Amino acid sequence: MTEYKMPDREQNSNKGTFGKVLNFSGSKNYIGAAYLSTVSILKTGGGFAALATEENIIRSVSAMLPEAVYLERKEGLKQINDFSVVLIGCGLGLEKKSRDLFKKVINKLSSTQVPTVIDADGLNILSGMNLKLPKYTVITPHPLEAARLLGVNLQDVLANLEESAKKLSQKYGCVAVLKTHRTIICEGENIFINQHGNSALAKAGSGDVLAGVIAGLLAQKMQPFEAAKLGVYLHSRAGEIASEELTEYSVLASDLPNYLPKAIMEIIQK
């Protein structure tokens, strides 16, 4: 059985000790993605989360999550160098303004060592661009997104999930988290298969939570492969614990952040 370990928590600390995450997420049709990804950064132990998004989303999400900082997209782009981790893509949208933003963010980060998480619409935008990703990048595609990124058919990915995860990691020079029933985490030739989770996670918004969890762990100075492994475990274990109370039918993505503390508690009490 795999032993997991949470990042150390130094007592002589402040919010900056545990990292500052800038989250470019959300668009008019995906307000929830902005909330789910941002709250998960903080629930996992990240010290500071800033959501860079559209003005109308700021009004909605700030009412639910007063602990975050809120910036408009352009302001987030200006302040990007002040952050230790960047998350981009959750509900970002595929409009031209979103594509332009994605390109600017990745180009700003490409020559840096800032850990970067790319999810959802960020992956769909990436599949149509030739961009150099930052050195410490984690991508989190489901099989259809993986097919787009590799330029193959969905069935090609499903027929060999481990090989597809390897190809993603090698093509983009990153850690690939291929989300399936048993999610595969790959860095080069190094592969890890998560053994937890259930159908409770098969709900819209679940991936936004995972992206935020991984970003929160990166903010606490975990290496990308280790952060991805632990993030996938915490996310999947939260789903298992939630389903014990709510059933696999009734767990919502918005329930998952509330069960992350129980998944974390299991690790730190061992």
- Give the CATH number, domain containing residue 95: 3.40.1190.20
Is 39 inside a domain boundary? yes
94 has pLDDT over 90: yes
**Rounded Cα distance, 206 and 210, in Å:** 7
Q: b/e per residue, 249-266, with b = 16+ CB within 10 A? A: eebebbbbbebbebbbee
Is 162 inside a domain boundary? yes
**Rounded Cα distance, 131 and 28, in Å:** 26
Residue in the block written with tokens 């990153």: 174
> Which amino acid is present at 158?
L
For 146-184, how does the pLDDT look when each residue is reduced to its tens digit (9 = 90+)?
999 999 999 999 999 999 999 999 999 999 999 999 999
Q: What is the mean pLDDT of the chain?
A: 97
Is 224 inside a domain boundary? yes
- pLDDT at residue 133, as a whole number: 98
Is 252 inside a domain boundary? yes
Query: What is the pTM assigned to this prediction?
Result: 0.98
**Could you list the residue range(s) of the whole structural domain that residue 184 is in?**
17-268
For 117-132, how does the pLDDT look when each residue is reduced to its tens digit (9 = 90+)?
999 999 999 999 999 9
Question: Sign (positive/negative) of CA torsion 68, 73, 75, 80?
Answer: positive
When pLDDT is averaged across residues 255-265 and rounded to a whole number, the result is 98
The domain total for the chain is 1
Is 1 inside a domain boundary? no
Is 11 inside a domain boundary? no
Is 7 inside a domain boundary? no
When pLDDT is averaged across residues 78-86 and rounded to a whole number, the result is 98
Is 56 inside a domain boundary? yes
- In sequence order, which residues have a C-beta less than 8 Å from that of residue 44 and are 6 or more positions away? 212, 213, 216, 217, 231, 234, 260, 264
